[in-house]
Chains A and B, each alone.
Chain A
Amino acid sequence: MAQQANIGELVSMLDSPVLSVRDDVTAVFKENLNSDRGPMLVNTLVDYYLETSSQPVLHILTTLQEPHDKHLLDKMNDCVGRAASRLPALSLLGHVIRLQPPWKHKLSQAPLLPSLLKCLKVDTDVIVLTTGVLVLITMLPMIPQSGKQHLHDFFDIFGRLSSWCLKKPGHVTEIYLVHLHASVYALFHRLYGMYPCNFVSFLRSHYSMKENLDTFEEVVRPMMEHVRIHPELVTGSKDHELDPRRWKRLETHDVVIECAKISLDPTEASYEDGDSVSPQVSAHFPHRAADVAASPYVDTQNSCGSATSTPYSSSRLTLLNTPGQPPQTLSPPSTRLLTEPPQATLWSPSMVCGMTTPPTSPGNVPPDLSHPYSKVFGPTAGGKGTPLGTPATSPPPAPLCHPDDYVHPSVLQATATPPRKEERTDSARPCLHRQHHLPNDRGLEELSGSKGSVTLSDLPGFLGDLASEEDSVEKDKEEAAISKELSEITTADAELLVPRGGFDSPFYRDSLPGCPRKTHSAASVAHGTSVNPEPLNSSLDKLGPDAPKQAFTPIDLPCGGTSESPAGNRERQASLETNILTPSPCKIPPQRGVGLGSGQPPPYEHLFEVALPKTAHHFVGKKTKELLKKAKGNAEEDRAPSTSPVEILDRLIQQGADAHSKELNRLSLPSKSVDWTHFGGSPPSDEIRTLRNQLLLLHNQLLYERFKRQQHALRNRRLLRRVTRAAALEEHNAAMKDQLKLQEKDIQIWKVSLQKEQARNSQLQEQRDTMVTQLHSQIRQLQHDREEFYNQSQELQTKLEDCRNMIAELRLELKKANSKVCHTELLLSQVSQKLSNSESVQQQMEFLNRQLLVLGEVNELYLEQLQNKHSDTTKEVEMMKAAYRKELEKNRSHVLQQNQRLDTSQKRILELESHLAKKDHLLLEQKKYLEDVKLQARGQLQAAESRYEAQKRITQVFELEILDLYGRLEKDSLLKKLEEEKAEAAEAAEERLACCKDGCSDSVTGHNEEAPGHNGETKPPRPAGVRGGGGSRGGGSGELSTPEKPPSQRAGPFGSRWETTTGEPAASIPTTVGSLPSSKSFLGRKARELFRNKSESQCDEDSVTISSLSETLKTEPGKDPGAEGKAPPSLDGPHPSPPTPDSVGQLHIMDYNETHHEHSEG
Chain B
Amino acid sequence: MTEDSQRNFRSVYYEKVGFRGVEEKKSLEILLKDDRLDIEKLCTFSQRFPLPSMYRALVWKVLLGILPPHHESHAQVMLYRKEQYCDVLHALKVVRCVTEATPQVEVYLRMYQLESGKLPRSPSFPLEPEDEVFLAIAKAVEEMVEDSVDCYWIIRCFVNQLNNKYREFLPQLPKAFEQYLNLEDSRLLSHLKTCSALSKLPYDLWFKRCFAGCLPESSLQRVWDKVVSGSCKILVFVAVEILLTFKIKVMALNSAEKITKFLENVSMLFSNLILNLERKSFGKPDFFIASHSFSDIFTL
Contact = CB atoms under 8 A, between A and B. Distances in A.
Given A935-B68, A936-B70, A953-B88, A944 B80 contact: yes
B109 to A, nearest CB: 14
A957 B117 CA distance: 8
Contact of A958 (B81, B84, B94): B94
B107 to A, nearest CB: 14
B130 interface: no
B68 A957 contact: no
A954 interface: yes
Interface string B129-162: 0000000000000000000000000000000000
Contacts of A932: 36, 70
Interface string B188-219: 00000000000000000000000000000000
B68 A943 contact: yes
Nearest to A944: B80
Interface string B80-121: 110110011011101101000000000000000011110101
A951 B91 CA distance: 9
Contacts of B114: 950, 953-954, 957
Nearest to B74: A939
B84 to A, nearest CB: 4
B91 A936 contact: no
Contact of B88 (A935, A936, A939, A950): A950
Contacts, number: 74
A958 B91 CA distance: 7
B69 A939 contact: yes
Contacts of B73: 936, 939-940
A938 B95 CA distance: 32
Given A932-B70, A947-B83, A958-B95, A940 B88 contact: no
B76 interface: yes
Contacts of A938: 68
B80 A957 contact: no
A946 interface: yes
A940 B73 CA distance: 7
A165 to B, nearest CB: 87
A954 B76 CA distance: 21
Contacts of B91: 953-954, 957-958
B266 interface: no
B77 interface: yes
B72 interface: yes
A943 B115 contact: no
B80 A947 contact: yes
B36 A953 contact: no
Contacts of A964: 121
A819 to B, nearest CB: 68
Which among B67, B83, B90, B97 has the greatest number of chain A C-beta atoms within 10 A? B83
A609 to B, nearest CB: 79
A940 B115 contact: no
A956 interface: yes
B87 A957 contact: no
B84 A947 contact: yes
Contacts of B69: 935-936, 939
A963 to B, nearest CB: 11
Given A953-B114, A953-B117, A946 B84 contact: yes
Interface in A929-984: 932, 935-936, 938-940, 942-944, 946-947, 949-951, 953-954, 956-958, 960-961, 964
A139 B87 CA distance: 113
Nearest to A945: B80
A956 B116 CA distance: 11
Nearest to B117: A953
Which among A935, A940, A951 has the greatest number of chain B C-beta atoms within 10 A? A940
B84 A936 contact: no
B87 A950 contact: yes
Contacts of A954: 87-88, 90-91, 114
Contacts of B77: 939-940, 943
A942 B66 CA distance: 9
Contacts of B117: 953, 956
Contact of A935 (B36, B76, B97): B36
Contacts of A944: 80
Contact of A957 (B65, B72, B76, B119): B119
Interface residues of A, number: 22
A949 B94 contact: no
B70 A939 contact: yes
A939 B35 CA distance: 14
A964 B84 CA distance: 24
A950 B115 contact: yes
A953 B115 contact: yes
A940 B68 contact: yes
A1011 B69 CA distance: 38
B69 to A, nearest CB: 7
A960 B92 CA distance: 12
Contacts of A958: 91, 94-95
Contacts of B67: 939
A943 B95 contact: no
Contacts of A956: 117
A951 B87 contact: yes
Nearest to B80: A943
A742 B84 CA distance: 109
Nearest to B66: A943
Interface in A148-170: none
Contacts of A960: 121
B40 to A, nearest CB: 14
Interface in A895-944: 932, 935-936, 938-940, 942-944
A675 B77 CA distance: 154
A839 B234 CA distance: 99
Contacts of A939: 67-70, 73, 77
B114 to A, nearest CB: 5
A967 to B, nearest CB: 12
Given A953-B114, A953-B115, A958-B94, A936 B72 contact: yes
Nearest to A937: B73
B189 to A, nearest CB: 44
Contact of A947 (B68, B87, B95): B87
A878 B117 CA distance: 110
A941 to B, nearest CB: 9
A935 B83 contact: no
Nearest to B78: A943
A566 to B, nearest CB: 93
A943 B70 contact: no
A132 to B, nearest CB: 77
Contacts of A957: 91-92, 95, 97, 114, 119
Contacts of B68: 935-936, 938-940, 942-943
Contacts of B72: 936
B102 to A, nearest CB: 16
A932 B92 CA distance: 37
B87 A940 contact: no
A940 to B, nearest CB: 5
Interface string B224-260: 0000000000000000000000000000000000000
A961 B84 contact: no
4 shortest interchain CB distances as A-B pairs? A939-B68, A954-B91, A947-B84, A943-B80
Interface of A: 932, 935-936, 938-940, 942-944, 946-947, 949-951, 953-954, 956-958, 960-961, 964
Interface of B: 36, 65, 67-70, 72-73, 76-77, 80-81, 83-84, 87-88, 90-92, 94-95, 97, 114-117, 119, 121
25 contacts: A935-B68, A936-B70, A939-B68, A939-B69, A939-B73, A940-B68, A940-B77, A943-B68, A943-B77, A943-B84, A946-B84, A947-B80, A947-B83, A947-B84, A950-B87, A953-B88, A953-B117, A954-B90, A954-B91, A956-B117, A957-B92, A957-B114, A957-B119, A958-B91, A964-B121
Given A936-B36, A939-B68, 10 more contacts: A940-B68, A943-B77, A947-B81, A947-B87, A950-B84, A950-B87, A950-B88, A953-B88, A953-B116, A957-B92
